[in-house]
Structure 1
Amino acid sequence: MMSFFKGQLANVVEWDEFREDMIFWKWHNNEIKKGSKLIIRPGQDAIFYNQGRIEGIFEKEGDYDVDSDIIPFLSTLKGFKFGFNSGMRVEVLFVNTKEFTVKWGTKSAIHLPAPGLPGGLPIRANGTFNFKVNDYVSLIDKIVGVRNSYLVEDIKIRITAVLDQLLMKWIGREGKDMFNLQMNADEIAAGIKQDLDMQLVDDGMTITRFHIMSFNYPKEIQDMIKKSASHGMIGDVKKYQQVELTDAMASGKMGGEGGSGSGTASEMAGMMMGMNVAKEMMESMRDSGGETSKGQSEPQNQQASSGGQGNIPNFCPNCGTKTSGGNFCSNCGHKLV
């Protein structure tokens, strides 16, 4: 008698193994007793289905009586009546409705074809992608039938398995600059998102965002890129030498014997840089105003050599004595005109 009543105890239909990284979970007891309750928590949908056919989807959080609040809304089970010894045989699937964010990174370097590098250009990349469940029919048809639960890690494994191939595909399009991939990161990511979405659409899920945080080159390649960028910004060898001199001053590499004496190196580099800057300023002034100065000085020299009282200076250019109007200095005898 006690075993009979034990079999008639009501169920609590709820997601009792909930995890933040769990995409869905299948309620294991397929027979729902009279008086059972359904509990839906925030961020969950409860799907009643029978033999792969969805009977009803319940999205609003709260506690519900199965026989009075749920059964009347089920598509083909509206007329179901709980018998004295029987319950309702139906499966319940709980789905996590949030958008999941997953970090990704290439497991090993991807070798991209690049001029001058026979083995290819090795790069790594990392970023994030977002996905969510958007089609319960496909989810039940393709995955729920063979799985009792599904984790974010399962999706991550699927995505990372094809990422290397997709990165090579979209990086190689339209002759992108292999040494400045970050400039095209958004375009590359958009193409990868489109392809990844096709990987998941049949399983009832969609990629909502794919982001490439960074491309990482080997140190030797990074140094080469920085050096090339410096050349491009500087534009000529003379200025490049100045930058190299500045780097030496900062790092102390121009020190004395044995590599020591960084203070002396800094002083030397500073003095040399200052001399070079002053020299360039003088050359610039000469180049911009030399012709005008030359044009103005020639008439003055001609006028000074032509003689005449109006050309006698007020002071002797040799000794500085004030002149008295004669052609020779009264103090030192220097010729004034």
Structure 2
Amino acid sequence: MGISPYLKIIGRGSEGARALSREHATDLMGQILDGHCTDLEIGAFCVAMRIKGETPEEMAGFLDAVGERMDHLPGSERPVVVLPSYNGARKLPLLTPLLGLLLARKGLPVLIHGTPTEDGRVSSQDALAVVGFAPQPTDHSICPGRVHFVNTESLLPGLKRLLDVRRSIGLRNSAHSLVKLMNPVAGPALIVGSYTHPEYAQSMAATFELMGSNAMLLRGTEGEPVADPRRTPRMDVFLGGQAHLVEEARGGPLDHLPSLPTRIDPISTATYMRAALEGLIPLPESLIIQADHILRACKAIEASGDPSVLAPLTA
């Protein structure tokens, strides 16, 4: 029937718009991902949802559509840590690859997926390329202790096309939230989701609950799924959709700020990563804390979702 009936529901402005059911949201997103919509319809959808905002039920429906179409990676021997990397670095160095390599050192399989969504930002793909990590196909399983980077287009071309709409209209759309919530692995995994604005914390948490996800949620660095090196944010872990607070936000900046590169280009970022991993400079404390919580969360997944494996609340 096309998406025009859905546009009439979601496109009546912030006061008149109504939310879609999960089933209708699944159908709407499926038509977009399958390429059945015109550019005008997709633009209308993006603007309407930007004004209205997505409900958790709508996001769950969108994720259902993505999950039905995505080319999932095979599962691994251990839960795969999923790091969505889409915002890139604007002012601070991009530490998502460093977090991934640190987790791999702890024996976990790590998947970083992403694509550049804004010009002028350094992406994880750029930094990883400098240290010899090329994009991997989706039919390769990830061994424990390894990091794989996968392009979004390899996972689902229609999702990459929807992300690229931002370059045309200058606004983020629902796809920019979807990629931070989805699980591209056909097996046990821990999604590390991040938000930039506090209002997204509640909606992302509600979506993880609806989806029964295993995930970590924190306020990331410039939208990346890594703790700010200058302060330690609140961290929640979801096991089967059930939230567990594992780290309280620590007020104010750290007493001793970590030594960070003054430039954010890929070579400077890669040089910093090598030095930190080789012990030549200390790792940021917040990164160490986050990695430890992720490791415990993966052990909890391996223990059939036993929350007692998680770290106790910080005093």
TM-score normalized by the length of structure 1 = 0.19
Could you say which structure has the larger radius of gyration? 1
Relative CO higher for 1 or 2, CA cutoff 8 Å, sep ≥ 6?
2
Q: Which has the higher strand share?
A: 1
Q: TM-score, normalised by structure 2?
A: 0.20
